[in-house]
Structure 1
Amino acid sequence: MKLIKVKDGLLEVENFFLTSSFSDFAGSANVTRDMSTGKMKLISNNKIERNFTYTEFVVELEKENFNDVGIDDHCSLYFGNDKYAFGIREMKQGEQHKFWKILKEDNYVQAYASDDGINYTNIGGMNFIDAVLHQGFEKYSNEDFILDNYKVYASPYVTIQNFPENTVCELYDSNNNLLKTRTFNGDLECKIFLDSNIQGYFIFKDSTGNQIYKSDLLDLKYGDVYVFSKYELEVIYNGLVVTNTSPVVLKDLQESITIKNIDTKDYAGLKIEIQTASDDLIQLSLDGSAYSDSVSLDLLQGQSKDVFVKITKNVDNHNFSVRDFQLVIDE
């Protein structure tokens, strides 16, 4: 038995403003970026804007503060459509923050600011039932607006699945401080709100307080999904074990992964399927020729078998994320 990370919380693999074409966001603005440092600069006093159609999300970014903020100077992060907008704006020298975070869930928006990316202050929220169509940055200053990092996540929660109802889940940080306690519901699932991305671990207890399982120290990120699995399997891609680590990015639309039985018993008739929220067609094969929605395989103790993955991109899906799926394994 083990706790396995089955879905990474990132909705986009890379920093959109660092890797996308300038035509996707720059417009008439004067923008530069340096791939070696990961910095993007908005030099001119106007805005840059991208298409943004996620219904629920967490956007967390790191920027550089202005050295001096004049009477009319400002910088802002905004989301919205052709009628309405919401976001964060800084207009005073002493009210600048290096980290911004905005989340949208159940038609409610919440904004946060932080100086260290760990301890966030809630700076306001509002109902926003309209669809978000775009997201951008705007500034007015003699100084450049410098974006150091930009990530888009699926939700503010870490989700854990497959423990019995009423099982207690305790989240601890790397210093063994108890941060939060939650209970599994009737769907055998619990969600834990993350105040920031952290290193931490889980302890699971039954309804009488007896410890069932303690996880390893994990890098926990917004939107991650973990499953408590009865199978002792490793998933290997490009020679690296990806089980219990951050899922890797498939380099191409047709790849192979290896599944290895590291248990002390044989497995027969394992059914492997794909689960995805994207519109892409993702299919599996055992021979690299005949693809279907699922495959079945037997694995003896210590045995490894290759599974081929083919992704057919939907014509309307312009997201450069290739690996937005998870493997579902059952008997």
Structure 2
Amino acid sequence: VIILGGNQSNAVNVSAFDQNLILGFRQPGSSPAAGTRGDKFELALRHVLAMEGGWTDDPHDPGGPTNKGITLAVYARERGIEVTSQTLTELKAALRAIPDDLVRSIYESRYWQPSRCPALRPSLALMHFDASVNHGVGTAARFLQEALGVAVDGEIGPITLGAARTAEPRMALARYAAIRRQRYRALPHFWRFGRGWLRRVDATLAAATHLVPPSSDPAQTEESPFMTGPTDAPTTKPYAPTETKSWWQSMTIWGTILTAITTVLPLIGVVLGISITPELAEEIGQNIILVIQAVGGLIGTLMALFGRTRATALLQMRSSRTSL
């Protein structure tokens, strides 16, 4: 890849860059096709609104008063108002009457964009957006990374997005849904809201799977305009069996034998009353090893020739009789 670059001193140069080191890139000045990004967001938003429903104020709900999936705490932060005993009643009334434009703005600015959904294919974006709304953006980021099999750090960067581009869509969605179910079952309020939570995951999985193109090949799936180019996901090289050495070709084995000979022979010489110096023992050991290697090599050559002869011999049919 040829790169035109500059620095703070206004120096511009052109240099080659290894394509395998590129995590991702985008065309300068490029923009999504008309309606592409908006349609993807609107589709995901309609699904989330259908899952969230309208006004609720269940005392067992840790989110507190909620309308169209917007909790009172989120609404108050959006308005820049602190939730106190004096503002609680007014905020509740305002939340119940929240306009659709503000709902859309909150979902896009607080969930859709921070969760990097624009960089995901529509099917995974829908699942991830729904999880970001229901579990939180940070928790959903970890869910996504776990589903894609990358390092889980809660930061969605080029490696996570690269894995999302190359993952098999249906498998990634199924893993994501399983992670969400497991999380729900671990929550203390599962006894009250568990059925609804699990139904939500099932409905989201079905809706997201419906968006997967007929071709399950990630390379044939339309990619996001924000992240194109070579993938940064690790590739697996085909298995290549290594050639094994014969035992007589191993330097480790012969080194062990030589050490044993030079250590044991002087001791045997003392027992037999023969003076064998370490130098003499080493020379004897080396000669023995040379002889064994020569004999081993000769035997190996003969066996190879014999095996080759058998392998090239024509097959012959022989009659046989079997008695039952």
Normalised-by-shorter TM-score class: under 0.3
Provide the TM-score with structure 2 as the length reference. Answer: 0.25
Structure of greater Rg: 2
Which structure features the higher share of strand residues? 1
Provide the TM-score with structure 1 as the length reference. Answer: 0.24
Higher RCO by CA contacts (8 Å cutoff, separation 6 or greater): 1
